[in-house]
Each structure stands twice: as structure tokens, then as C-alpha cells.
Amino acid sequence: MKHLICGVGVVGKATGTYLEANSEEVWYYDKNDFRLKNIKNCIDSLISLLVESFDILWICAPETAVEDILKKVPKLFKLEKIIVVRSTTIPGTLEKLETKYKITNLVHNPEFLRESNAIEDTFNPDRIVVGASKKALTTSIFDIYKSIKCAKYRVSLTESELIKQISNAWLATQISFWNEIKELCDSFSINSQTTANIVTKDKRISKYGSIMTGKAFGGHCLPKDLEHLIECFENQNLNSYVLHMVRNKNDMLRSKE
């Protein structure tokens, strides 16, 4: 099949690398020409007539750009083409866009990649999640990932979006938890890292975030996705006491840096 990847950042490059490794024809588009440097197969416009020649459009751009991209390819909505969004959209976003633009071929396939190990994580994921309103769409995406041996889950668009948001919020929560434990250990003048190492020998307790640096989590994904999940609670008229404390703890640590 012929694929077009829209957004050639960490996720877009990793996705393209996987597809190319499986003998798929891959082309790239990014509004930032610098990202297309040294890429052989690239296009310089998202004109609908041009995009129609591709079987699958992969949107790997920031979530704020997803709707803008969809607006540029309206003819794809009426064709038997698949539009795969890998962006971390806020839960409910894609179902709203699906209704708003009458899209029948929309898929959400979230990435669970570490920026420093994006290629490795793409080829060796813990799980693959595909959200879609039609079983046939999910089956098509699973077929693309047939060379990967891991658990694969068919869910709705909103479930897929929520799974990604919750995953990052949980990672953020673990970091804030261990940062608090470090402060407690320091108050007793005991070795916080030794304590954490022994606690995490329990197979039920993840080691993630237990490296006792005492630093706030930063980067692009964790703060953003934590904030979006808090907003999601608020939009549903719910309170998230835990997530607010995670954010507050991190903000406090940042203020000390």
C-alpha cells in the first residue's frame, strides 16, 4: 500500500521507519521543510487531489493541528481511504470531528513511545491500541502490524484517546509520588534510593519514576497530557483530586529549580 505520513517529528519518523521495514511505500509531508531534509519521498502540499493517490493517511502532527489537516483533505472522507490519527487528542475529539465532517474512515492509533527510543519502541511495543467505529478499519490496521507480536486491542475512538491520556498521567503520578518519598527519606537522613530499590522489588510496584533525582517531570508529553486529563474530568463535571495533587507537586518542584 501507499502511505502518506503527515508530521515528520519523532512519531512520524518512527511510524515511517516501521512501514518501510515492512516493504510499504511511504511518503512524507511536513509544513516545516527542515524536517523533510534528507527524506527522498516527500510532497510539498496537502492538495486533496494529490492526497487521494494514497491508501492511508497517517496524521502524526501535534493534536492542535489535526482538524486543520482534515480540513485540507475533505475528498478522502467519501473515498475508501483510511485516516489514522497518532496524535494525542483529548478524549472525545475524534468522535466530534467524525460527526462534524461526516468522516467514516477515521482511526486512532496512539503511540506509546519514549522520545529517546522511538524506533525500538515502535518495533517492540507493549501493546497496540486501535480505536475506530468500524471493525473493518481496525482489522486493516492490525494487518499492518502483523509482524509485531504483542497484545492488540480494538476499542472505540474515545477509549483509545483516553487510554493514551491515562497512560501518561499515570507515569506523571509515579514521578510525583517518588519525589514525595524522597523528601520523606531525606527528612530521616536515610538513603532514598536504597529505600526505593527495595520497595520496587515487589512485582506489583513499577520502578518507573523511582530513580531518586528529586526533579520535576518536564518535556512535552507528560505535563501536557496530565493537564488535558484534568480538563477532561472538569468537562465531565468531575473532580480529580489525585491528578491535581500530582500537578501541584510538580509545579512546586519546578519553582525550586
Write b or e for each residue in 39-54: b if 16 or more Cβ atoms lie within 10 A of its Cβ, otherwise e: beebbeebeeeebeeb
Strands (E), 20-150: 25-29, 56-59, 82-85, 106-108, 127-132
Instruction: Quote the CA–CA distance of 216 and 222 in Å, as a whole number.
Output: 11
Catalytic residue selected from 6, 60, 221, 232: 221
Compute CA distances 136 → 130, 132, 149, whole Å. Answer: 11, 9, 20
Instruction: Quote the CA–CA distance of 93 and 148 in Å, as a whole number.
Output: 28
Residue 42 is among the residues annotated as catalytic for this protein = no
Which residue's C-alpha cell is 503527515?
Answer: 6
Please name the amino acid found at residue 75.
K
Where in the sequence numbering do the catalytic residues fall?
221
